[in-house]
Amino acid sequence: MAPLARRVVSAPSHHIPAAWFAATVLAGGAHAQTINEVEPNNARAKADIIEQAPATGLSIVGTTTGSSGTGSTSPDFFFVYPAPAPAAIYRHRLTLTSTTPGHIMNLRGRAQTMGFPATGDVVLQLASGSSPRIAQWYGFGRRGGVFVGVFGSSSTTAAYTIAHERTTIVPIDLGSFGQGPISITTIAQGHSTDTELFLFDANLQPIPDAGNDQPISPLVAQAALTRTLPAGTWYLAVSDANTAWQFGAPPDDADRTNFLTEFLDTFVCGSAATNRNLTFFISDAAGNTRQVNATKTEPFEVRWFSLQTIPAACSPADVTAVGGPPLGPDGLLTGDDFVTFINAFAAGCP
């Protein structure tokens, strides 16, 4: 079995140089691998790089009995980026175990200042549980990844093992809506969960500015998002705060300071809360609506949905007065005809 490509490098702390990706060696990506840490890996800039992490079977083994300094008492940092895969929603889970539990594991990210990524390293997600400890993120088959920090204490004398597992998530299909403005809201849906909403395109590419944590009006913890979607397939991610992608929050989001991920293909919920009601309501300009019941049951879980937007059925130019059945030509140019025209125009009818 070919060994997994692996390097230990030093790099600027703010990004991964494109040249690293270009130089990646595709080796052993489909096979189980055990990789031992290499010191010094005491900081994110000295992270051990785990290239082409396979879908399953990767084990990272290390030891740390502290959280600072160098050598055996130093923290251990890794950069894990998954092997490329066909476009899909993938949950990447890291499970840390040790015969001397007590380690801390976290995923790192970037701060945000008024809608823009800021410099500096932050903890985006603190692994949940005690033994094992679990961290997770979502990716979509492209280049992405995440910096991982492991911290010990005087009692964590035995080695730890971090297993990586990739699981494909099948989104729930919400059906079809009319193309044009689509509104999604968690307001007035029977809960007060501090929800967040994010839209992805048909290729599962995150759409800049198509996220919301906190609407400006009304200023509430729930989320509301209206975006104009041409005909196509779209994906919707729903979870509780803080959930993050690489993009800063848009101007119609009242909360533009939450932490972000560092890569386009890395999507993280940092909330370990469970049993959170995520029920939302979706509607189009033609009045098609649907309430969708959803619950977050696991720490860091994101609920995924897909929808299609289609050209609206186009009305004839001449309709009867509202309330005068059946709807159809009456040979009269009335206000109803203008209303129908405007609605058809808004819905994208030719």
- Residue 253 DSSP code: B
Q: Which is nearer to Ca ion, 36 or 228 (CB)?
A: 36
Instruction: Compute the radius of gyration of the chain from its Cα atoms.
Output: 24
Contact status, residue 164 vs residue 53, Cβ threshold 8 Å: yes
Q: Which amino acid is at 349?
A: C
Tell me if 247 sits within 8 A of 208, measured CB to CB.
yes
Nearer to Ca ion by Cβ, of 236 and 344: the residue is 236
CB of 118 to Ca ion, least distance (A): 20
CB 152 within 8 A of CB 67: yes
42 makes contact with Ca ion (CB under 5 A): yes
Which of 48, 76, 284, 337 is the binder for Ca ion (CB under 5 A)?
76
Q: Strands 280-284, 289-292: parallel, antiparallel or unpaired by DSSP? A: antiparallel
Output the six-digit token pair for 214: 């906190």
Show contacts with Ca ion in window 158-197 (CB under 5 A): 194
Identify whether the C-beta of residue 71 lies closer than 8 Å to the C-beta of residue 111: no
Q: Rule CB under 5 A: is residue 74 a binding residue for Ca ion?
A: yes
The tokens describing 263, both together, are 């890569």
Q: Give the one residue of 213, 262, 265, 337 binding Ca ion; rule: CB under 5 A.
A: 213
Cβ–Cβ under 8 Å, residues 184 and 224: yes
- Which spans in the chain are helix H? 18-22, 335-346
Distance CA(86)–CA(178), nearest Å, equals 28
Q: Quote the least distance from Cβ 179 to Ca ion, whole Å.
A: 27
Query: From CA 199, how far away is CA 50, in angstroms rounded?
Result: 29
Q: Report the nearest approach of Ca ion to the CB of residue 212 (Å).
A: 7
Distance CA 13, CA 46 (A): 9
Alpha-carbon gap, residue 153 to 196, rounded angstroms: 35
Closest separation in Å from C-beta 213 to Ca ion: 4
Q: How far is the CB of 165 from Ca ion (least distance, A)?
A: 22
**Of the candidate residues 41, 185, 239, 306, the single one contacting Ca ion (CB under 5 A):** 41
Near Ca ion by CB under 5 A, which window of 72-80, 106-114, 259-267, 296-304? 72-80
Site track for Ca ion across 229-248, x = CB under 5 A: ------------x-------
Binding-site member from 24, 33, 52, 64 for Ca ion (CB under 5 A): 64
Query: Least distance from C-beta 206 to Ca ion, angstroms?
Result: 18
| Per-residue contact flags (x/-) with Ca ion for residues 83 to 122, judged by CB under 5 A | ----------------------------------------
Nearer to Ca ion, 70 or 131 (CB): 70
Q: Which DSSP string do the residues of 127-157 spell out, in sequence order?
A: PB-SSSEEEEEEE-SSS--EEEEEE--TT--
Give yes or no for residue 211 binding Ca ion (CB under 5 A): no
Size of the site for Ca ion (CB under 5 A): 12
Among 223, 260, 285, 312, binds Ca ion (CB under 5 A): 223
DSSP single-letter state for residue 258: S
Distance of closest approach, residue 272 Cβ to Ca ion, in angstroms:
16
Of the CA atoms within 13 Å of residue 73, those in its CB half-sphere come to 6
Tokens standing for residue 280: 């939302």
- What's the closest the beta carbon of residue 109 comes to Ca ion, in angstroms? 18
Q: Between 97 and 315, whose beta carbon lies closer to Ca ion?
A: 97
Per CB under 5 A, the list member of 62, 139, 144, 180 interacting with Ca ion is 62
Smallest separation, CB 75 to Ca ion (Å): 6
Q: Which residues bind Ca ion (CB under 5 A)?
A: 41-42, 62, 64, 74, 76, 194, 213-214, 221, 223, 241
